[in-house]
Chains A and B, each alone.
Chain A
Amino acid sequence: MIFSIEYYVYFILSIPVFTSSSYFFRNFKQLSIAGTIITAVNSIIVLLIPNGIYGPFFINSLNRYLIFTVSFVYMFSSIFASGYHRKLGESKNLKLHYSLINLFTFTMLFTLVIDNFGLMWIGLEATTASSALLLIVERERNQLEAAWRYVILVSSGLAIALISVLLIFDVYGHLTITSITNSGIDNPLLAIAGVTALIGFGTKIGIFPMHTWLPDAHSQAPSEISAMFSGILLPVAVYCLYEFYSVTSVGPVQGIYLVFIFASLIFVALVMPSQTQTKRMFAYSTMENMSIALLGLITGGLGYLGAILILLSHAFGKSGAFYSSGNILEIYGTRNISMIRGMKKRMPYTSSTLILSSLAVTGAPPFATFIGEFLIIYQLISMGRITAVIILIITLFIISLSVMYKVSTMIFDGNEIVDKSEPALSQVLVTITAVVMSLGITFFYLGGMIA
Chain B
Amino acid sequence: MTISEILDVIAVSLLFTGIWAQIGTYVMSKVHVIIVQSLLLSAYAIYLGITTSSLDLVILGILTALLRGFLTAYILYRKLPERGNMFRELSKGIPSITILSVILLVISLAIYHEVFFPYTGSNIGGIGFAMMIQGMLLVASRKNKIAQFSGYIEEENAIILLSLGIISLPLIVEISVLLDVLALVIVSAVLISETLETENLPEMIG
- For chain A, which range describes its interface: under 10, 10 to 19, 20 to 34, or 35 or more residues? 35 or more
Contact, CB under 8 Å: B171 / A335 = no
Give 14 A-B contacts (CB < 8 Å), ordered by A residue: A118-B170, A125-B179, A125-B182, A129-B181, A133-B189, A139-B192, A148-B190, A152-B148, A155-B179, A162-B163, A165-B169, A192-B115, A220-B204, A274-B206
Q: Which A residues, 403 to 432, have Cβ-Cβ distances below 8 Å to chain B?
A: none
* A276 part of interface (Cβ distance < 8 Å): yes
Chain A positions within 8 Å of B, measured between CB atoms, are 118-119, 121-122, 125-126, 128-129, 132-133, 136, 139, 141-142, 144-149, 151-153, 155-156, 159-160, 162-163, 165-167, 169-170, 175, 187-189, 192, 215-216, 219-220, 271, 274-277, 280, 335
Interchain CA distance A132-B188 in the complex, whole Å: 10
Binds A, one of B50-58, B83-91, B194-202: B194-202
* Residue in B155, B167, B175, B192 whose CB lies within 8 Å of A118: B175
* Residue in B158, B166, B203 whose CB lies within 8 Å of A142: B203
* Residue in B120, B178, B204 whose CB lies within 8 Å of A129: B178
Known: A118-B170, A133-B185, A142-B204. A189 touches B194 (CB 8 A): no
Interchain CA distance A170-B203 in the complex, whole Å: 45
Interchain CA distance A280-B152 in the complex, whole Å: 27
Contact, CB under 8 Å: B163 / A166 = yes
* B186 part of interface (Cβ distance < 8 Å): yes
Number of A-B residue pairs at CB separation under 8 A: 122
Interchain CA distance A218-B162 in the complex, whole Å: 33
Distance (whole angstroms) from the CB of B164 to the closest CB of chain A: 10
Chain B positions within 8 Å of A, measured between CB atoms, are 115-116, 119-120, 132, 135-136, 139, 145, 148-149, 151-152, 155-156, 158-159, 162-163, 166-167, 169-171, 174-175, 178-179, 181-182, 185-186, 188-190, 192-194, 198-199, 201, 203-204, 206
Distance (whole angstroms) from the CB of A115 to the closest CB of chain B: 14
Interchain CA distance A152-B201 in the complex, whole Å: 17
Write out the residue numbers on chain B whose beta carbons fall within 8 Å of the beta carbon of A187: 119
Contact, CB under 8 Å: A277 / B203 = yes
Interchain CA distance A431-B190 in the complex, whole Å: 34
* Residue in A136, A159, A335 whose CB lies within 8 Å of B203: A335
* Residue in B115, B120, B186, B199 whose CB lies within 8 Å of A145: B199
* Residue in A126, A275, A276 whose CB lies within 8 Å of B178: A126
Interchain CA distance A149-B152 in the complex, whole Å: 12
Write out the residue numbers on chain A whose beta carbons fall within 8 Å of the beta carbon of B155: 156, 159
Contact, CB under 8 Å: B162 / A280 = no
Nearest neighbor of B140 in chain A, beta-carbon distance: A156
